[in-house]
Structures are given as C-alpha cells and as structure tokens.
Amino acid sequence: MQGTETFNFQSEVKQLLHLMIHSLYSKKEIFLRELISNAADATEKLRFQSLSTPGLYSGDLRLQISIDKEKRVLTLNDNGIGMQRNEVIENLGTIAKSGTKAFIDAIGSDQSKNNQLIGQFGVGFYSAFMVADIVSVRTRAAGTPSNQGVFWQSSGNGEYTIASVEKDDQGTEITLHLREGEDEFLDEWHVRRIVSKYSDHINLTIEIQTEQKKENGLIWEKINKAQALWTRKKTDITEDEYKEFYKHISNDFTDPLTWTHNKVEGKQTYINLLYVPSQAPWDMWSHDHKNGLKLYIQRVFIMDNAEQLMPNYLRFIKGLIDSNDLPLNVSREILQNSTIIKTLRGALIKRSLNMLEKLSHNYKEKYQTFWKHFGRVLKEGPAEDKSNIESITSLLRFSSTKFDDMAQTVSLNDYVNRMLPEQDKIYYITSDSYIAAKNSPYLEMFHSKKIEVLLLFDRIDEWMMNHLTEFKNKKFQSVSTSDDTLNKLTENDNEEQNKTDKSLEPFIKRIKSLLGTRVKDVSLTHRLSETPAIVTTDINDITPQMAKLFSASGQAAPEVKYLFELNPVHPLVRKAADIQNDVLFRQWIELFLDQALLTATGTLEDPNKFIRQVNQLLLK
C-alpha cells in the first residue's frame, strides 16, 4: 500500500454509522440487498459509459459472492465502473444525498420510527455495518491502470483509512468482517435465499462460490435469473417479485399499494412499470426531493429521476420506462425538447391516473391509504394539467357535512349522486382547519335545508378550487361568496319576514353611513340562524383564504372589500337596531363586523381593540 491517509467521516455519516451499528432493525439481511443494488448500479453505469468510450470492459458483467467461515468474512466482488480515490472519499466518506441532515434529525430516538426511516432513506453501503465490525473496500475505476487501485477501510468508529494499491481487475470488492452473532451470513444457502428473495430480478449475473472444489480452481454458481424483470412476461412474474423490484428501485422497505406493467408496440415501442408507494418519503415536501422515473433505452440504463417523464403532481409515482425509440446518447437537454418524450409523458400520465382510478374503485381502503399520504400532492393536478383535469378531479377526496369525521373519503361522484333534486351546484367551504370549517356559520342555512357541503381545510385547497370550475356539468360554489344562486336559496315568500326586512331598512342605511367604504355593501340575510352577522365576497373577488395564501408566500394580496350581511331575527341585531346612542350603536356594529371578519379570516388587524369593545359592552 502507498499514500495511506486517515480521515474523519462527515458528521452526518458518523450519526448514520452509529444508527447502523446499534440498529435493532429486524431485517439485517437487507444489507446484502443494498450492496447488490450498488453493484447493479455500478455495472449499469459501466454499460452506459462504454457507449461513448468503447473497450471499457470485455466479457460478462457479474457480481461474485464468497464466504470464508474460518475468517468470518463475506466478500462481494463486481466488475462494474469502479471508483477513483477522490470518488471513494466522496462516496464512502460523505453523504452527498440532499436532505441528509433533515433525515438524521427526523430519526431521533424512536426505534420503531428509525426502522421505518432507514427503509425510506435507503442507507446503501453503510448498511454493511449492521452486521460487520470492519468493512474493507478495494476498487479500481474502469479505464485506469492497475496501479491506481484504491483501498478503503473502517470499523465505523468515526474515521476511515484510505490508500493506493495494485488491483488487477476493474470494479469494486467489498469485504465484511462479520460480528459475533451474525453467523447466518456465513451460511451459503442462507445467502442464496436472500439473493433469491431480494435480487432475483436484477439485470446482473450474481454468482456464489460453492463449497465444492475443482482441480483448476473454484466453482462459481449463478444464483439469480439475471434478466431485467420488466422485460419478462407479466404472467411469469410473481407478486413477490414485483414487490421486491419496487423496493430495489425505490429504496423503500414497504410494499407498494399497486402497480401497472405494460408493453406497447406500434408507432412507439416501450415498456413501462409504474408503482404507487404505500407511504410518503420523509422528504416528500423538500425542494431537494428527487422525483421522476428511471429511464432505460433498449435495456441500457440512461438516468435516474427523469423528471421530464412525469408531471410534478404525480411525483410520488416510482418506476421505469424502457424505450426503443430514443437515441442512446440522450441527455436531459434533449429530453426537454423531445417530441418522443412528450408522447411518452402523455401516455405515462394516463397510465398513472388509470392505475389510481382502478385502485379507488377496487380497493377503497388502499386508496384511502394513498390519499392520506399523497392526496395533497394530487391536488396540485388541476392547476398543472388541464388536459387530464376530469380524471384528476374524479380522484379527489373530501370531508363533508354528511359525516362527523374529518377523514377525506367523499368523492365528487358521491357528492353529485346525493345532490337534492333542486340543487344545481357543488357547495364547498375552505378554512384553516376541519373544526373551523365544520362549525362555520356559513353552513347554518345548508344544515337547515339538508344540503351537503364539502369541507376543505388543506392549505392548498383554495388555490386548487381556483382551477376547478365544474364536475359533470355542476359548477362549484363557495358558501362564503355571495351570488344569485345562494340568494335564491335564502328567499322565502313570508309576509312576516318581508315586514321585518322593511322595518330594518333605516337600520341598514345607518350602518352604511357608519362604515362607509370599509365594506362593499351592507344587507340583511336569511341564511343565518345562530349568528348575528357574516361577511361575504362577490363571486369574482379574492377570497379570505386566497388572500392568506398570497400573504404566506410573501406576495401583496389585493385588498378585499366585504359584503356585510346581518341576521334580522337575531336578538343582538334587533337590540342594536333599537339603539339611539351613536357611540353605543357604533360599538355594537363594530363588534358584529369584527366577529364576522374573525370568522371569515381567522384573524383581526387589531385584536386588542376587539377585546376592549367586548369588555366595554359586557359592562353595559
């Protein structure tokens, strides 16, 4: 060895190594899956690089596994792309994966949570320390001379050693010195079972050194199918194989909810295999979250995270596409402007939405699991993808006044099928929380008339509703806006009511004079039963919830001018109508207005003033 140096691990790696060494994760065998996946990636990269640099390798690409029971050593040796010295330091001494700090913070001390997050993150190489007290690596990059091999070793104690060595073959050899108590991984047949379970589908030949010997050397036996799973007939692939392949490409330890596997031949020829995960990744809402499908061209791996193939609102979809029509030297820039990619993207979107539609119809509980984890992501769809808005809208789920439960289980089909004969609109309310929406005074009339209202309380909902206009020829209508349809619902040809309204005309005129331009208009309303007053907006004006979204994103929101509507039969309103003292009258009207604004917006410009007003009126 030459040029031996010792380095400290990056702080996040130290934390991750500590987690691996002290992990109680029950499936320690996954370290083998992770290392095999790394070897498969290394050989795929070599295939791709050899397209532009012929002669990088000859013969078959393979991974060989050997066991030395006496020395308690398990070795994995591939002839893939290999690494140079700087790559070894970068890949094995640091974690370049974005969001690692957030991942480490998320882990905390909850062991059950740790196990779940280990799977979501995909710990790769470092999982070896779950079973080994010393891990050694010998590697040489393809296309470099034999004297540029690199040796790396660590016991996971916070530092690692690196040196230059001679290495005859390109690729990477990983040697695990197994801890006491990990004897099962020295059993050849146990290792075979693990490979069969997790890696049968990998497009890389995996061989194991058998305990038999022959005169001219060792016997290596192939122990996996070594055929790209997606190229096989669907009828030949078991459910377990589909699930394990998902885990291989997604770094997720949980089973997918569903998948679709299709081979298309015609104007374009391609195979797609798409999965819906059963849980959201820990970094789902991070700006650094990587989404997109794996892209293969004629069975050759081209790139991960080809985001051009899938829109942002379907970023949770995992899987791959293997095309016969794209050039092998394709780049991300070419993908951006490729008409073939645009056609493939359109087809993949329809496949994905159709897969979700089938899930929602045939497996309602599974679809609720999907909605719990990815519903807010799918809600981005109406704004992003007008061409598929009907399919997206049918997949949306909402809470509703029909049920005393905040679970979002109601589809728009459900709602429309339950609409009253005289009802011609889909009514909804947006609010900051389920409780605020459910108890809103805007619903009082709808309760009395037994009209169902959708309760929307996710932050994205108001923005989404700006892009949804109708469903099955039924227009959407916010209950906090004022228009002719809502006014007709409140109309009641009642002589006593008309008489009351007439008698309160001077009262309304007095309020208009008092408030002036602070409100758009003042009127009486018969949509309330328990509340003295509300504010509404015209149907074309910005809503309070939308104004909040503007403010939260740092944008200046247009000024909202409200319609101030009072309940003519409420005792407090009747009391205020009889007040002659201008100061006291102002206090009551200001109180009604502030109450209404608080209901609509959840906040007040001057809450202390509101409290003073309430206190003053309580003393009178």
- Local confidence band at 107 (pLDDT 50, 70, 90 cut-offs): low
Lowest-pLDDT choice from 37-41, 75-79, 146-150, 494-498: 494-498
- Local confidence band at 101 (pLDDT 50, 70, 90 cut-offs): low
The C-alpha atoms of residue 379 and residue 396 are separated, in whole angstroms, by 7
pLDDT of residue 300: 79
pLDDT of residue 543: 78
pLDDT of residue 23: 63
Question: Which DSSP letter does residue 183 get?
Answer: G
Share of the chain above pLDDT 90, in %: 62
For 579-619, the pLDDT digits (tens) are 999 999 999 999 999 999 999 988 888 999 989 989 988 88
Two structure tokens written together for 259: 């998948």
The C-alpha atoms of residue 260 and residue 258 are separated, in whole angstroms, by 7
pLDDT of residue 122: 47
Q: Which residue intervals of 277-388 are DSSP H helices?
A: 332-337, 339-362, 364-378, 381-384
The C-alpha atoms of residue 480 and residue 467 are separated, in whole angstroms, by 17
- Local confidence band at 488 (pLDDT 50, 70, 90 cut-offs): confident
pLDDT of residue 416 exceeding 80, the answer is: yes
In the chain, count of helices (H) and strands (E)? 23, 23
Q: pLDDT averaged over the chain?
A: 88
Give the list of residues 6+ apart from residue 365 with CB closer than 8 angstroms, or none: none
Report domain extents, the chain.
Answer: 2-222, 230-369, 397-479, 481-620
pLDDT of residue 91 exceeding 50, the answer is: yes
Do the domains spanning 2-222 and 230-369 agree at the CATH topology level?
Answer: no
Q: Spell 56-95 as b/e; 16+ CB within 10 A means b.
A: bbeeebbbbbbbeeeebbbbbbbbbbbbbbeebbebbbeb
Fold of 397-479: Rossmann fold (3.40.50)
Return binding residues.
34, 38, 78, 83, 91, 97-99, 120-125, 172, 332
Residue 259 or residue 284, greater confidence: 259
pLDDT of residue 496: 79
Helix, strand, or coil (residue 610): helix
- The CATH architecture annotation of domain 2-222 reads 2-Layer Sandwich (3.30)
Return binding residues for ATP.
34, 38, 78, 83, 91, 97-99, 120-125, 172, 332
Residue 123 or residue 346, greater confidence: 346
Q: Report CA-CA distances (Å) from 132 to 128, 178, 179, 185, 351.
A: 6, 4, 5, 10, 43
Give the list of residues 6+ apart from residue 62 with CB closer than 8 angstroms, or none: 78, 79, 204, 205, 206, 207
- Local confidence band at 461 (pLDDT 50, 70, 90 cut-offs): very high
- The CATH architecture annotation of domain 481-620 reads Up-down Bundle (1.20)
- Local confidence band at 540 (pLDDT 50, 70, 90 cut-offs): confident
Sign of the dihedral defined by the CA atoms of residues 31, 36, 38, 39, in that order: positive
User: Quick check: 162 and 5 in contact, CB under 8 A?
Assistant: yes
pLDDT of residue 417 exceeding 50, the answer is: yes
Which range, 108-112, 145-149, 322-326, has the best average confidence (pLDDT)? 145-149
Lowest-pLDDT choice from 83-92, 112-121, 244-253, 476-485: 112-121
Question: DSSP string of 120-137?
Answer: HH--GGGGGGGTEEEEEE
pLDDT of residue 98: 40
User: Quick check: 15 and 118 in contact, CB under 8 A?
Assistant: no
Residue 242 or residue 17, greater confidence: 242
Residue 353 or residue 251, greater confidence: 353
Average pLDDT on 107-120 reads: 50
Fold of 230-369: Ribosomal Protein S5; domain 2 (3.30.230)
Q: At what angle do helices 30-52 and 188-199 cross, to 10 degrees?
A: 60
pLDDT of residue 288 exceeding 80, the answer is: no
